[in-house]
Amino acid sequence: METHATPSANLIPIIDSISALAEGRDVWLTDIWGVMHNGVEPFASACDACTRFRLAGGTVLLLSNAPRPAASVAAQLDRIGVPRFAWDSIVTSGDAARTFLTGYSGKVVYPLGPERDLPLYEGLDVILGSADDAVAISCTGLFDDEVEVPDDYAGLLAGFADRSLPMVCANPDLTVERGDKIVYCAGALASAYERMGGNVKYAGKPYLPIYDMALAHVETLKSKPIARERVLAIGDGIRTDIAGAARAGIDSIFIASGVHVEGEGLTDAGLMELFPGDNRPIAAMTALAW
């Protein structure tokens, strides 16, 4: 394993290969968007790394803030070209959001988000209705994240805040890298709503319920308890993947992406700026690779 960082207890090692850090781990909790693909094409080195870990006896659980159920995300991975043999199973923030939404059974919920996220509501006993009739908001993202920004929703969100409507945020991510473009996610709308005094319940990373869900799922897959020191989280989100893993007592690897790293790329100084506190990864990589 090649390391570029100058040896220091304060520096986060920058590595080219994850193979040495895979030793002693039973499970990878691997983010999808930004680690396995960029929304357009798969990252071959990441798919290879996950495959090699699985062949060595490890389990790869894809842990995503996608605001859709796991089956819908699996279909998307197939379309993009992420091979099925690179992962064992999927848990999403959409799965966690469905649990929250059962609290509004028989009531009108306003679906704030694109049409592609409608699978989130399949099989739920909620009524998707207008903003005027809703008793709660289910936020999966912007209606058109290719052209819209959170400021476009100021009026709609202010109206909800005036009525004290609760919001379920099905994707806590603020932004994501799609190809060579950065687009806004549901978390950006939820943050704007909170600044207006709105009450938001977040499903997904960095909140603990999704980690409890993910680890319970892994223990079912492996038919045995899994100690958290045997788990490694891999992701590109500082406030989601890395902070969430720290909250859950799990070591993490930071994958640099265009969301956080620009210009000179991954550097010691840049990492110190990104991670000034205690919630730090054990290493950083420009891309997941074996």
pLDDT, tens only, 26-65: 999 999 999 999 889 999 999 999 999 999 999 999 999 9
Local structure of residue 6 (DSSP, 8 states): P
In the chain, what are the domains? 19-94+206-285 (3.40.50.1000), 96-202 (3.40.50.1000)
Identity of the residue numbered 91: V
Q: Give the sheet arrangement for strand 27-30, strand by strand.
A: 89-92, 59-64, 27-30, 231-235, 251-255, 283-285
pLDDT, tens only, 119-137: 999 999 999 999 999 999 9
Residue 286 and residue 256 in contact, taking contact as beta carbons nearer than 8 Å:
yes
CA 31 to chain centre: 6
C-alpha 184/C-alpha 186 separation (Å) is 7
- Taking the complete model, does pTM exceed 0.85, yes or no? no
Local structure of residue 57 (DSSP, 8 states): T
C-alpha 161/C-alpha 200 separation (Å) is 11
